[in-house]
Amino acid sequence: MGQARELMDRATAAVLAGELEALRDIYADDMVATTPDEGTLNGLDAFLEWNRSFIASFSDRSYESQRGFETEDCAIDQGYFVATHTKDLALPDGQSLPATGKQIRLRAVDLATVRDGKIVQHDFYYDQVDMLTQLGMT
């Protein structure tokens, strides 16, 4: 296992456990993330806040890995994020979606690029409409 895979696996485990401060050891301070809902996030603090909002809304979090790939400086994961929507979910427009108590199984792809021992770019892909459909909002 290379460094990119190790860092991606550590990041996934930290997010699932809700241990977001552990991400400070995994990501560069000036990292960039792209997300389906918030677009481009510049810097680790913005990335942590995005994660904090999402993770706070879902309990019983797990990840079902379907495929994992790695190159010298990049790890790619495809799988399913599974969780129960137990708290209000903040939406990008400032509104919130009340807790539904429903479980989601959201297909996702993540790409993490590593440089100098830290993740410097992380791109997230998931279908927002699928998530809202599973939550009974469409």
Architecture in CATH for domain 3-134: Roll (3.10)
The per-residue pLDDT for range 15-72, each reduced to its tens digit, is 999 999 999 999 999 999 999 989 999 999 999 999 998 899 999 999 999 999 999 9
C-alpha closest to that of 2 among 117, 110, 111 = 117
Please state, in angstroms and rounded to a whole number, the distance separating the CA atoms of residues 40 and 4. 21
| Domain ranges, ordered by start, for the chain | 3-134
pLDDT class of 100 with cuts at 50, 70, 90:
very high
pLDDT class of 76 with cuts at 50, 70, 90:
very high
Q: Is 129 exposed, middle or buried (0-12, 13-18, 19+ CB in 10 A)?
A: exposed
pLDDT class of 130 with cuts at 50, 70, 90:
very high
Q: Model's pTM, two decimal places? A: 0.92
